[in-house]
Amino acid sequence: MTTDAQSAVVTDGFHLVIEALKLNGIDTIFGLPGIPITDFARKAQAEGLRVISFRHEQNAGNAAAIAGYLTQKPGICLTVSAPGFLNGLTALTNATTNCFPMILISGSSEREIVDLQQGDYEEMDQLAIAKPLCKAAFRVLHAEDIGVGIARAIRAAVSGRPGGVYLDLPAKLFAQTMDAEAGKRSLIRVVDPAPKQIPGSEAVKRAVDLLKGAKKPLIVLGKGAAYAQADADIRSFIEKTGIPYLPMSMAKGLLPDTHEQCVSAARSFVLPEADVVMLVGARLNWLLSHGKGKTWGGRTHKDWGGQKFIQIDISPQEADSNVRIDAPLVGDVGSCVSALLAAISTSAGSTWAKPPTEWLAAIAERKNKNVAKMAETLAKNPMPMNFHSALNVVRDIVKANPEAILVNEGANALDFTRSIVDMYRPRKRLDVGTWGIMGIGMGFSVAAAVVSGQPVIAIEGDSAFGFSGMEVETICRYNLPVCVVVFNNNGVYGGTDVNPAGGTDVAPTVFVKGARYDKLMEAFGGVGVHATTPVELRNAMEQALRSRKPTLVNAVIDETAGTESGRITSLNPQSVKKK
């Protein structure tokens, strides 16, 4: 606030944006400074917001997105115009795809010049470009509209199906002044930004009737269920009904993976066998083989397996996206599950008949067999380490530190970690999500540490790590308790490919052999460890968790271990063999 010559107290765009954010409980901004938002970042810090500055906007954007997922408040990413904006856009679109609430705020060039394409500094029609790539996009031209602009952005990000919102703030807006009192009055504290959506009673009855008639019921928990923070009711519903459940990747730990009813270890058995499947905040997209085909017991690739589906989702358009949904339950997970809980206790007296024992016994048999097989594999101690012997260590460390957040990306490094490392608490596993996007690693790690204060363990393929690796400087700068473990197998998927043309260039998937990623962390004052055995890996991780010092463990993995594309090799197009 400043006082002009006439002593009228005025405020400006800078302060109004900051005040509007603070008024709505936003306490952190992730971003990267430059024209025209450098002063904004400075002033935001001066006014008490935490400003976490990154080395690349994509990582700041990923940080904002996962902060949104963890807190149910929109994560804020701040970038400069054109190139900075574009760098943030991948994260904004990924957030939208994954239903994470975030707001990308980018400074922009002068509208008059942009619209006439007269060649302004970093000229770009950002609003038009962002629009098709996010849930909503807004621009504020006048200081008196800042309150409305921020309010609309917040509502759009967190209400209904959460997603990414773009907010365009032209350079000129920040310096605009207005009467301070009027400015204050123009700000909006958003009331009930993510209103509950209560499911209709008929829809609840339809779902309960279907479940009641099931002989082989199954519940699938998705990251929408984890996001909803309805943990106690979800657990209660699962335990009261006795229905086996399968957690999707980021729903692992919503109930402990070691729970008796968890059927992760029998996934390929339960999907084709189940007769009624209840999806809770999980889409029937590629990650669930679109609800049909051989995975679900269909005879052909696109054949329906015969299951009936119940789907709890906040988006009314999600049902029937891939196969028929017999009982759509539209509402927020919390309201839907509590309505189901009420319905099962009234409709069946206080005792709900548990699923038939044959179903539970068949699952238990399959599960025990697979768990025993996995235990055998994990107990081996090959040299060099493979994914299993290394992950056997990570599995123990996570068990001993259930409050730690696990960030995970790569191909084999992703798939093996997901299946081997049990999670014990909700929202502790953060990964490549719906797109299978590489590059979320360090952005997610920074945000997870910042918003939770808990230690972070990032299990990274060496290729995956490279996408955001420079942020180890950010981790050191803010002294965050992040332990990065790079599974170094010398390349994308592995390091054994050879150049088929026999030239001096290595194959497209191969990296420098024997690279020392640990030195990167040391360059910025963190702890670097080179680990070639499970014992070295265990010591390094234990030390990192004890000390909470930024640590990078370069874990040397057999370059022949794993497969191309990990578990999704089948998605690679096959070329026609040359005659």
Q: Is 333 in the site for ligand ADP (CB under 6 A)?
A: yes
* Helix, strand, coil shares, percent, the chain, to 5: 45, 20, 35
Contact flag: residue 487 with ligand TPW (CB under 6 A): yes
Among 12-20, 60-68, 335-343, 430-438, the segment contacting ligand TPW (CB under 6 A) = 430-438
Q: Which of residues 410-439 bind ligand ADP (CB under 6 A)?
A: 434
- Residue 438 as a binder of ligand TPW (CB under 6 A): the answer is yes
Q: Which lies closer to ligand TPW via its Cβ, residue 269 or residue 511?
A: 511
Question: Distance (Å, rounded) from C-alpha 108 to C-alpha 46?
Answer: 23
Q: Is 449 in the site for ligand TPW (CB under 6 A)?
A: no
Greatest C-alpha distance within the chain: 87
Backbone angles phi, psi at 193, to 5 degrees: -65, -30
* Binding test (CB under 6 A) with ligand ADP, winner from 28, 98, 412, 490: 98
Peptide bond into 500 cis (omega under 30): no
Residue among 40 and 487 whose Cβ is closer to ligand TPW: 487
- The neighbour count for residue 197, using CB atoms within 10 Å, is 17
- Stretch binding ligand TPW (CB under 6 A), from 69-77, 244-252, 422-430, 461-469: 461-469
DSSP code string of 106-120:
EEE--HHHHHTT---
> In this chain, which of 16, 60, 99, 405 binds ligand ADP, going by CB under 6 A?
99
Cβ-proximal residues to 40 (8 Å cutoff; 6+ apart), any chain: 14, 17, 18, 78, 107, 174
Q: Does 439 bind ligand TPW (CB under 6 A)?
A: yes
Binding-site size, ligand ADP (CB under 6 A)? 24
Please tell me whether residue 255 binds ligand ADP under the rule CB under 6 A: no
Rounded CA separation 101/70 (Å): 10
Question: 516 is in the binding site of which of ligand TPW, ligand ADP, none (Cβ under 5 to 8 A by kind)?
Answer: none
Among 315, 419, 454, 496, binds ligand ADP (CB under 6 A): 315
Q: Which residues contact 504 (CB under 8 A, 6 or more apart)?
A: none
Q: How many CB atoms lie within 10 A of CB 423?
A: 26
Rounded-to-integer distance, Cα 169 and Cα 147, Å: 13
Radius of gyration of the chain measured on its C-alpha atoms: 25
**Which of 56, 428 has the CB closer to ligand ADP?**
428
313 binds ligand ADP (CB under 6 A): yes
* Rounded Cα–Cα distance for residues 400 and 226 (Å): 22
Which residues in the 44-83 window bind ligand TPW by CB under 6 A? none
Residue showing the smallest CB distance to ligand TPW in the complex: 461
For 548: left if phi > 0, alpha if psi spans -120 to 50, otherwise beta; the answer is left
Smallest gap from Cβ 249 to ligand TPW, in A, equals 14
The whole-angstrom separation of Cα 564 and Cα 493 is: 5
Distance between CA atoms of 14 and 34, rounded to whole angstroms? 15
Query: Binds 318, which of ligand TPW, ligand ADP, none (CB < 5 to 8 A, cut-off by type)?
Result: ligand ADP
Quote the CA–CA distance of 420 and 187 in Å, as a whole number. 49
Task: Pick what 412 binds: ligand ADP, ligand TPW, none; C-beta below 5 to 8 Å, kind-dependent.
Answer: ligand TPW
- Contact pick of 169, 228, 323, 544 for ligand ADP (by CB under 6 A): 228
Is residue 295 a contact point for ligand ADP (CB under 6 A)?
no
* Using rule CB under 6 A, residue 264 touches ligand ADP: no
99 versus 265: smaller Cβ distance to ligand ADP: 99
Q: Which residues 207-226 are close enough to bind ligand TPW by CB under 6 A?
A: none
Question: Shortest distance, CB of residue 224 to ligand TPW, whole angstroms?
Answer: 22
Q: Give the integer Cα–Cα distance in Å for 509 and 496.
A: 9
Burial (0-12, 13-18, 19+ Cβ within 10 Å), 554: buried
Residues touching ligand TPW, count (CB under 6 A): 19
Taking the least distance from each CB to ligand TPW, the nearer of 469 and 566 is: 566
Compute the least distance from the CB of residue 194 to ligand ADP, in Å.
Answer: 8
Binding residue (CB under 6 A) for ligand TPW from 492, 527, 537, 541: 492
Distances (CA, A) of 211 to 69, 204, 308, 420: 30, 11, 10, 31
**Any contact of residue 481 with ligand ADP (CB under 6 A)?**
no
Binding mask 162-181 for ligand ADP (x = CB under 6 A): x-------------------
Tokens (6 digits) for 364: 């238990």
Q: Which 275-294 positions form the footprint of ligand ADP (CB under 6 A)?
A: 281-283, 285, 287
Binding mask 381-410 for ligand TPW (x = CB under 6 A): -----------------------------x
Three-state DSSP class for residue 9: strand
Which structure tokens are listed for 413?
């490094």
* DSSP reduced 3-state for 530: strand
Nearer to ligand TPW, 186 or 408 (CB): 408
Please count the residues of the chain. Answer: 579
Asked if 233 touches ligand ADP (CB under 6 A), the answer is no
Pairwise CA distance, residues 208 & 237, whole Å: 12
Three-state SS at 65: helix
Q: Residues interacting with ligand ADP, by CB under 6 A? A: 98-99, 161-162, 222-224, 227-228, 248, 250-251, 281-283, 285, 287, 313-315, 318, 332-333, 434
Q: Residues interacting with ligand TPW, by CB under 6 A? A: 410-413, 436-439, 461-464, 487, 489, 492-494, 562, 566
